[in-house]
Structure formats: structure tokens, C-alpha cells
Amino acid sequence: MAKFCIGIDLGGTFIKVALLDEQRRPTPTREFETPIHEGPDAVVAAIVASARRMVKEHGLAKGDLLGVGIGSPGPIDISEGVIITLPNIPGMDNVPLRELVSKGLGLPAVLENDANAAAYGEFIRGAGVGTANMVLLTLGTGVGSGIVVDGKILHGAHDMGGEWGHVVVQPGGEPCACGQAGCLERYSSATYLAQYATRLIREEGRDSSLSKLLDQGKTLNAKDIVDAAKAGDELAAEVWDRATYHLAVACVNISRIFDPDCVVLGGGMARAGDELLVPVRRYFRQLHWALTPVRMEIHLASLGPDAGVIGAAGVAWSGLGDGCDT
């Protein structure tokens, strides 16, 4: 009889659930509302109920299940299985989520941070399939990342590894909310590139078709920039170019440090498709050393918003199952 692991992706809006069989084939993902204003007990109860419902809908019994993997925003203590705090869900402070969900479902559980889970999802089922070493950069509000080395997620000594969004790519550069200056996130995230365009127009008086949107009271987003760049807006093209250049610098550094098979670009900005991929790949080849040929590939993520829930179930398989990284 086929066995399954349950994947849970805990977010500030939805609890996503999917099941993954031994061949790492996922069921479609189901979303259930996160009861964010009812305290930790309600959140745990909602996770358990969501998972049970999913199991029932697929006609599975408890004996068909190996365990559950939970992906959660941080900061979390992965080895202890504890949520330290969650900015988007009030009251989730020092909650031993792994133990509570494990008890609620009567199954062994593992806890992983959501960026790592997304990277692992792409690794086992998305753009990283067939590789052993992969880095995911998620380009959205910020720049998230997860790193897979020899088939395993890199955690570091205090579960804080894999923060490519806060790697300094311009010493002394743009100040970042984290307290550093010149972080990748300040150049290549959707939020900050739109902010940069706004700054150039509003504070430096630069001319751009985007000023019409600002005059309408709109907050610019990454799609506005790409669309304007495609339509020939010079300022938008310059802003987009700056973001792709710094992403390519990060890719060169990833290549030097990890020598991975590939870097995978995900998150909202990856929806720009070739508008993102082509310039990043071009700059990457330009900036890459000459000592060895370019071997690292750069791909767009392929699982979209399901990467995290699939990865969470995958982490459960790898932590509780046969250890096979199929």
C-alpha cells in the first residue's frame, strides 16, 4: 500500500495542504483559512482539521500516512520544532508547533522554514529536479532563499543560513531595514525596485510614463515597471536593468561559493518570465569568470505558490522516510 506524507504551508492568510506519495507525486493543494485572530490553539486546531479533511477526501486511513511536514515563516527553531514568533499571526510566540501538530494528528512531524521548504519543493518536484545542488531565490516583497547542498537543506549553526536577500551586493549601498547597507533585497526585490522607480520620479524629478500612475495615487509594483520598460520607458528599463544586474552578481557569487547545478528564480517577479530570465542570464555570462566554462544554469521556478507545501511534505519524507531524495 502506498504511503503518503502530509505537507502543510502555514501562512498569514491560508493554511495550504497537499499529500505527497513515495514517488514525491503531490495531490492538488487545498487552502483553508488561517484563524489569525484566535490564538495559537486555534491555529494548531485548524492545521490538524485541515490535514484530517485532506486525508479523508483522498480516502486514506492513518496507516497510509508516514508523517507531516510543516513549513512556516520565521523566526523558528527548526531542531526544537518551535515557532519563536510570527509577524503575520499574533500570539504565535514560543509555540512548540511540531509537537502540537504531531499530537493532534498522531503522526511524527517536522518543522521547516517556509523559504527552505519552497526551495526543497522546487528541488524534488520543480525546476531543480535531477540536480543535487540548487539555490532558490524568491523575488517578492523581499528576497527569500533556500539552499540545497548534496540533496540536503542548508540550515547553519543557528537555523539562520540561506539568507541571500541580505547578502551585501553593494558595500555602503542602499540602507536596508535589517540594519545593513547594500543588501540584494534592496536592489532586486519586487517591492524595492518599485520603490526605487518612485524615488527617481518623485525625488529626483526623472521623467517617466510611470508618473501618470503615481499621479493617480497608485503604488507602483514590479509589473508596472516591466510593462513600462517593454513599452519603451527609459527610466523603467533602467530600474529593471539594475535589478537584473544585481541578481546576476548574486548568481556569480552563488556559482563561486556553491558551484550548484542551478539557481532557480521564483516569487512574484518571476512571473515576468523571459523579461527577467534573459537579462539575468546575459549579465551572468558577462560577469562570470573565465577560468572554467559557465556550467550553472538559471531557471524560473515551476511550482509557483505550491512549492512550499510540496517541499514541506518532501522534508517530512526526507526526515521521516527512507531518506531517499528522489
Gap between the Cα atoms of 75 and 98, Å rounded: 14
159 to 48, 80, 112, 245: CA distances (angstroms): 25, 11, 10, 29
CB contact set of 305 (below 8 Å; sequence gap of 6+)? 16
Selected binder of its own copies within 42, 45, 60, 154 (CB under 8 A): 154
Q: Which of these segments, 51-59, 61-69, 177-185, 301-309, binds its own copies (CB under 8 A)?
A: 177-185
- Footprint (CB under 8 A) of its own copies, residues 187-216: none
The smaller minimum CB distance to its own copies, of residues 95 and 262, is found at 262
The smaller minimum CB distance to its own copies, of residues 192 and 245, is found at 245
Residue 245 touches its own copies, criterion: CB under 8 A: yes
Whether residue 248 contacts residue 284, with contact meaning beta carbons closer than 8 Å, is answered with yes
Residue 163 touches its own copies, criterion: CB under 8 A: yes
- Footprint (CB under 8 A) of its own copies, residues 8-67: none
Q: Which of these segments, 170-178, 202-210, 267-275, 308-316, binds its own copies (CB under 8 A)?
A: 170-178
Residue 292 touches its own copies, criterion: CB under 8 A: yes
Selected binder of its own copies within 61, 63, 130, 150 (CB under 8 A): 150
Give the position of cell 539555490.
Answer: 135
Residue 240 touches its own copies, criterion: CB under 8 A: no
Gap between the Cα atoms of 7 and 307, Å rounded: 10
Residue 155 touches its own copies, criterion: CB under 8 A: yes
The smaller minimum CB distance to its own copies, of residues 16 and 246, is found at 246
Selected binder of its own copies within 35, 151, 161, 279 (CB under 8 A): 161
Closest CA to 135 of 150, 119, 121: 119
- Footprint (CB under 8 A) of its own copies, residues 125-144: 131-133
Residue 159 touches its own copies, criterion: CB under 8 A: yes
Count CB neighbours of 213 within 10 A: 18
Residue 77 touches its own copies, criterion: CB under 8 A: no
Contacts with its own copies: how many residues (CB under 8 A)? 49
Residue 179 touches its own copies, criterion: CB under 8 A: yes
Give the position of cell 519524507.
Answer: 317
Residue 257 touches its own copies, criterion: CB under 8 A: yes
Give start and end residues of each alpha helix (H) in the chain.
Answer: 40-57, 97-105, 114-125, 185-188, 190-202, 211-215, 222-230, 234-258, 274-287, 307-320
Gap between the Cα atoms of 323 and 124, Å rounded: 13
Selected binder of its own copies within 149, 214, 237, 320 (CB under 8 A): 149
Half-sphere exposure of 248 (CA within 13 A, CB side): 21
Residue 285 touches its own copies, criterion: CB under 8 A: no
Helix (H, G, I), strand (E, B) or coil at 78: coil
Give the position of cell 539552499.
Answer: 147
Query: Tell me, what amino acid is at 215?
Result: D
CB of 75 to its own copies, least distance (A): 8
Closest CA to 71 of 118, 24, 31: 118
Residue 147 touches its own copies, criterion: CB under 8 A: yes
Q: Name the site residues for its own copies (rule: CB under 8 A).
A: 75, 131-133, 147, 149-150, 152, 154-164, 166-171, 176, 178-181, 245-246, 249, 252-253, 256-261, 287-292, 295-296
